[in-house]
Amino acid sequence: MIVDSATRPWTRINCSREIFTAETTTPSKNGLVAVGKFLGLHLALVMIFQLILIARIPWLERRIGMDRLTNWHRWTGFALFWLVLAHPTFVVLGFSRFDKLPVTKEITNLVGIFQTLVGIIAASIVVVVVGFSLRAVRKRLPYELWHAIHLLLYAAITLALIHQAYEGTAFKTSPLATAYWWTLWTVALLALFTGRLFVPLWRNG
């Protein structure tokens, strides 16, 4: 009983570490890979937060206001952009150092892995969308074209979820981590479908 009481705090700490750092008892290849995984988890959190911001939930709009939500959405998008660049950069550099291969060769190796390829496609879509969302570029585009490009983010989010689920580091470190991440994604997707699909159908029905 005393041993259980003494080890319980460490169990909580280990669970928290697994959820927020993607580290298990098996360490990362090196510090660069560990940083890349850490940034990847926060990239997922930012993406989930962005989903909730664009969900157009009526009570959230009334409580916070559209102007503030739009501003949060804009700055969250830029945070997403930098994390999308940083996450794969650290992972590639880390594996390149571990495998003692040139960066270009390591990229070729990683692209051959399904979950990595899916993540790269998702990241590329985010970079393209953010690039077209810059004010200088956006002003030159018809709204319809800009909006169509923006809709590609839904494909990026789907691919990012597939990447995170198949890559497995975050989802499978522990049952608690699995429940944590699936709960976050489920809540965000339910919010999105509710605000973007169910509420408009109910209002127009």
DSSP 1-65: -HHHHHHHHHHHHHHHHHHHH---SS--SSHHHHHHHHHHHHHHHHHHHHHHHTS--HHHHHHH-
200 vs 132 pLDDT, higher one: 132
25 vs 178 pLDDT, higher one: 178
pLDDT in tens, 144-171: 898 898 889 889 999 999 998 888 666 7
Amino acid at 198: F
Q: For the chain, what are the domain ranges?
A: 171-205
pLDDT for 124: 94
85 vs 199 pLDDT, higher one: 85
* 90/178 Cα distance (integer angstroms): 24
pLDDT for 62: 84
Mean pLDDT score, 22-33: 67
102 vs 25 pLDDT, higher one: 102
* 203/205 Cα distance (integer angstroms): 6
